[in-house]
Homo-oligomer: A and B are copies of this chain.
């Protein structure tokens, strides 16, 4: 058997309650006794049983983090940053990876988080009924990415502005046939693809460029999808001279498609992405940078603040800055290439 609180109490010649108070920095213990207890506890290698203490207190000191795909760069980066903030504050993180539909359904019906966490950080955009499931947990909720969501604090970026500067950049370079590799839209609250698309349309309209539906292809937010999408675009009767990909991973797929067709960016086609993926720099990909780790850290801190100040009204929405990163995959249209 491992050492319990009463072992420490006996060894220190006090009661269990005093040990409890002493070790957690609660008032009602003299400095002298507290020191004594701390020393004894350390020498015995005592650690309080989390299950026991959370059963007794109701606090779990655990944060639930739910993620669609931990394996993807964006999410793992956010998770990385968030975990650091949580653990520094003494919270553990319980991870749920909801990639497959079954896992997702299982999670939301069984709700393993119930009574297990003090708060939850969601990196996925919940469907309508999932929202109510999460709310029923009765703990602070924070979400990354996605539109405003009542009951949630959501941190994100200004997708419209980001997409606008991307497309405007292409327009300013002189492009007129500008394709877009878009992301499929998912849950209702998942406004990102919608916003980015709207910005694309707005800039086109604003620049007097007619919108050609053939230049808009779904890339599924994956490298492979981006590759397929670019292949489709190249097969169009009048292919684009520039392409705005709604994510860097799709942009990378697009670059791959270009290479496969013995074409090059930006010589033949300009490509701009979105995210500033860690490898965007390696590929020389021009993109819109968003603070990915920054959003994770910010979200985590907001959540902690809600835990420490339950009274304070949490911010409904927080927007982080973005900026255009010029690299080597965008340039003016090539005059030698027929439009």
By a beta-carbon cutoff of 8 Å, the part of chain A in contact with chain B is: 2, 47, 49-52, 54-55, 60, 62, 65, 69-73, 75-77, 79-81, 83-84, 87-88, 92-97, 99-100, 103, 106-107, 110-112, 114-116, 223, 252-253, 255-256, 259, 278-279, 281-284, 293
Contact = CB atoms under 8 A, between A and B. Distances in A.
Contacts of A69: 80
A275 to B, nearest CB: 13
A115 B50 CA distance: 7
Contact of A284 (B54, B80, B259): B259
Nearest to A296: B71
A95 B115 contact: no
Contacts of A111: 47
Nearest to A64: B92
Contact of A95 (B47, B83, B283): B83
A282 B284 CA distance: 13
Given A73-B73, A95-B93, A51 B60 contact: yes
19 contacts: A47-B112, A50-B115, A51-B55, A52-B55, A55-B55, A69-B80, A70-B83, A71-B76, A71-B81, A75-B76, A80-B97, A80-B99, A84-B97, A87-B96, A95-B95, A223-B278, A253-B282, A256-B282, A282-B283
B76 A103 contact: no
Given A80-B70, A282-B252, A47 B115 contact: yes
A94 B92 contact: yes
Contacts of A60: 51
B71 A115 contact: no
B93 A94 contact: yes
Contacts of A84: 97, 99-100, 103
- 6 tightest A-B CB contacts, nearest first: A76-B76, A71-B80, A83-B97, A51-B55, A51-B51, A70-B80
Contact of A279 (B54, B95, B252): B252
Contacts of A278: 223
Contacts of A100: 84
A293 B55 CA distance: 36
Nearest to A136: B45
A293 B71 CA distance: 9
Contact of A256 (B55, B94, B96, B281): B281
Contacts of A52: 51, 55
Contact of A112 (B92, B96, B114): B92
A79 to B, nearest CB: 5
Nearest to A255: B282
Give the most central of A2, A55, A88, A106: most B CB within 10 Å.
A55
Given A84-B99, A252-B279, A256-B282, 16 more contacts: A2-B115, A47-B112, A47-B114, A47-B115, A49-B55, A49-B115, A51-B55, A51-B116, A65-B95, A79-B97, A83-B96, A84-B103, A87-B107, A93-B94, A223-B279, A256-B284
Contacts of A253: 282
Nearest to A71: B80
Nearest to A102: B88
Nearest to A45: B136
